[in-house]
Amino acid sequence: MPTQIEIPHHLLPADGRFGSGPTKVRVEAFESLLSRATDYLGTSHRRPAVKSVVGRIRSGLRSMYLLPDDYEVVLGVGGATAFWDAAVFGLIEERSEHLVYGEFSSKFAASVAKAPHLRSPLLIESKPGTHPQVVADLSVDTYALTHNETTTGVLMPIERPDAPGLVVVDATSAAGAVPVDPAEFDAYYFSLQKAFGSEGGLWVALMSPAAIGRVESIVGSGRYVPPFLDLRLAVENSRRDQTSNTPALATLFLMAEQVEWMNEQGGLAWASGRSAENADAVYGWAESVAFATPFVSSPGERSPVTATIDFIGVDALEVAAVLRSNGIVDVEPYRKLGRNQLRIGLWPAIPLDDVEALIDSIEFVVTALGHER
Ligand SMILES: *Cc1c(COP(=O)(O)O)cnc(C)c1O
């Protein structure tokens, strides 16, 4: 039985969480939450204890992203998936262009395609493991991009096309781990359970004045907007360090801790440097062994946060099962991609030592399964 293979203790990482989301929550952040068990958890989200935590998130992100004064940090309940629907009602005026190159980017495009009040979106697709290029098109008013396609491990640069229109970026797995210039986007939105190592359930959007102007003009046009998805309500509440309905307080707290921790270490430059260093170790290793190779062939498109590594002549699922039985979890491939691969989260909170220990552990398992290195 392969699952009985025992990885020697000295090879194992100190922390075995390498998933692509939810990701490793730092123990220090959790302990900090624990210390607030009776005066924060279980208290009103309209009162200072919670509002000050929302304020810490908003100001922490403002400094992390060096946001221009007229950009706003907006938040709401429901995660990136809810933001897609909010954008369908509140950001896209008539027609959007979508770069589709994996499961998440295609889900947003699918929500838009079904909206009766919008024209059919323009879809620009590319095969898994690559990303398409933005095409300036005067028939669209919104460009929907994805900074890091978590499902395939492809990163694309965020650049404003040379045309009018809002640039709306799903940054769920990139935010907190990949540099970006706020001048290149109008809405940069994300959930908090990826690079920020918090929990699920909330979305945050860094919004330009043009994006907020669009939200206001759509509301003014009389379009029906479901109240839960009303971005104008989200903007108004965020300005008061609140959400329009009850948020997950633990998620907020862990996020505030993580943003401040990252800023103390050196901000986005530090965080992105950490992930890039982890990624160099994994891709460098995958290129050096015969049984593995990076799935994304172009080095410049390889994700620094979610590495997809194809296995050759070794059953990746079997490797993942042995790792799991030894406490190294969530490196299984994204199911729908259907490849013989491991997908490895390389978040800023994961130290290089643990990434190297993961590599040593994988090598040990592959050898134990009877393969040549
Ligand atoms: C995880 C993820 C999502 C979905 O986030 P939820 O919090 O589950 O809504 C969307 N887009 C990308 C790029 C993701 O990585």
Q: What is the pLDDT along the chain (373 residues), one digit of tens a residue?
A: 545 899 999 999 999 999 999 999 999 999 999 999 999 999 999 999 999 999 999 999 999 999 999 999 999 999 999 999 999 999 999 999 999 999 999 999 999 999 999 999 999 999 999 999 999 999 999 999 999 999 999 999 999 999 999 999 999 999 999 999 999 999 999 999 999 999 999 999 999 999 999 999 999 999 999 999 999 999 999 999 999 999 999 999 999 999 999 999 999 999 999 999 999 999 999 999 999 999 999 999 999 999 999 999 999 999 999 999 999 999 999 989 999 999 999 999 999 999 999 999 999 999 999 876 6
Determine if ligand 1 sits within 6 Å of the CB of residue 191.
Answer: yes
The residue to mutate among 150, 154, 229, having the most atoms of ligand 1 within 8 angstroms of its beta carbon, is: 150
Let me know whether 259 and 273 are in one domain. Answer: no
| Token pair belonging to 154 | 């492809």
Ligand 1 center to residue 172 CA distance, Å?
6
E strand intervals along the chain: 72-77, 96-100, 122-125, 142-146, 148-149, 154-155, 166-170, 187-191, 202-207, 292-294, 306-311, 341-345
Determine if ligand 1 sits within 6 Å of the CB of residue 104.
Answer: yes
The total domain count for the chain is: 2
CA separation for the pair 101, 182 (Å, rounded): 23
Phi, psi of 299 (to 5 degrees): -55, -35
Ligand 1 center to residue 360 CA distance, Å?
30
pLDDT of residue 295: 98
22 prior amide bond cis, ω within 30? yes
pTM to 2 decimals? 0.97
pLDDT of residue 120: 98
Determine if ligand 1 sits within 6 Å of the CB of residue 23.
Answer: no
Let me know whether 314 and 168 are in one domain. Answer: no
Let me know whether 138 and 236 are in one domain. Answer: yes
Residue type, 30: F
Backbone region of residue 134 per phi and psi (left: phi > 0; alpha: psi in -120 to 50; beta: other values): beta
Ligand 1 center to residue 81 CA distance, Å?
6
pLDDT of residue 371: 78
Q: If 0-12 CB within 10 Å is exposed, 13-18 middle and 19+ buried, where does residue 344 land? A: buried
Q: Does some domain include residue 166?
A: yes
CA separation for the pair 26, 289 (Å, rounded): 31
Residue 321 contacts residue 365 (beta carbons within 8 Å): no
pLDDT of residue 373: 60
Determine if ligand 1 sits within 6 Å of the CB of residue 152.
Answer: no
CA separation for the pair 261, 324 (Å, rounded): 29
Residue type, 11: L
Query: DSSP state, 53?
Result: H
User: Which of these three, 264, 296, 327, is where a domain ends?
Assistant: 264
Determine if ligand 1 sits within 6 Å of the CB of residue 151.
Answer: no
Q: Does some domain include residue 162?
A: yes
- Residue 58 domain boundaries: 27-264
CA separation for the pair 24, 194 (Å, rounded): 8
Q: Does some domain include residue 134?
A: yes
Q: Does some domain include residue 81?
A: yes
Residue type, 128: P
Q: Does some domain include residue 6?
A: no
Q: Does some domain include residue 90?
A: yes
pLDDT of residue 98: 98
Determine if ligand 1 sits within 6 Å of the CB of residue 198.
Answer: no
Q: If 0-12 CB within 10 Å is exposed, 13-18 middle and 19+ buried, where does residue 359 land? A: buried
| Unique residue bearing structure tokens 């009985």 | 4
> Listing from the earlier edge strand, what are the strands of the sheet with 341-345?
292-294, 306-311, 341-345
Determine if ligand 1 sits within 6 Å of the CB of residue 351.
Answer: no
What sign has the CA pseudo-torsion 286, 290, 291, 294?
positive
CATH code for the domain in which residue 92 is found: 3.40.640.10
- Which ligand 1 atom sits nearest the alpha carbon of residue 173? 15
CA separation for the pair 194, 19 (Å, rounded): 9
Let me know whether 227 and 278 are in one domain. Answer: no
| Token pair belonging to 129 | 């493991």
Let me know whether 68 and 204 are in one domain. Answer: yes
Q: If 0-12 CB within 10 Å is exposed, 13-18 middle and 19+ buried, where does residue 313 land? A: exposed
Let me know whether 253 and 302 are in one domain. Answer: no
- Least Cα distance to 231 among 80, 79, 54, 86 occurs for 86
